[in-house]
A and B are shown apart, each in its own frame.
Chain A
Amino acid sequence: MYRQTARILLLLGAVALPTAAIAAPSAADIAAGKSIAFNRAEGNCLACHVLPGGTMAGNVGPDLTHFPFKIVFHNRQKLVNFIYDPEKVIPHINMPQFGKNKVLTHHQIELVAGYLWSLQK
């Protein structure tokens, strides 16, 4: 996982996505983000990633339970940008382009990013 984390770090540094501050999500928004992440017909993050409270999670992608989102992405906007089009950040990554290919709406991606951001202590 560290190797993957570092790859993301290095590439994020190279890409330097625009940063815009977004308001901290409410508890309701976090719950909504979790629901999208768990839902098979929406984010379906559990297909590939372990998330706290998720049952029968896949192990194709990194375990996100203790993933250092803040260190890797610096701010939530960069995480939103990553989920929107991971390929832009990490070429050949095996992760759907959730925003670019309209799997999720921009608002849904923001909710998911807010939920993931909230996982860190």
Chain B
Amino acid sequence: MIKVEIINKPITPFISDDNRKQIGAELVFNGRVRNTEHGKKIIALEYEQYEGMAEVELKNIAVKTCDKFPIRDLLCRHRIGIINVGEISLHVLICAKHRKEALEAMNWFISELKKLVPIWKWAIMTDNTRIPSECEH
């Protein structure tokens, strides 16, 4: 199963299912907002998207990930809007028969997301000024 969503509210995690007998590895990734941007304190990041294209690109990458790696499920929620320090901006759940392919798929999926999905961050500084984030990690 593939499911991707871009949402403008706090992320609720996908529910883990104990009844899936063929899944040996269930991998969860949560990306969170750090409190610094190039050494300067920030209070939040504001994520903006290219509405429409961002979700299509995210779905394309999810499909490619499932073609490339023998995984069963890839579920992804990406939050946009203002996200305070410490909160989750990206939540990904990958299920596979074995750990190795789940880990490789997770790494590849997030790397591609960071190269292609038209989403950007603005850093909100402690004085409330707002500047484009330079972080590309």
A binds B: no
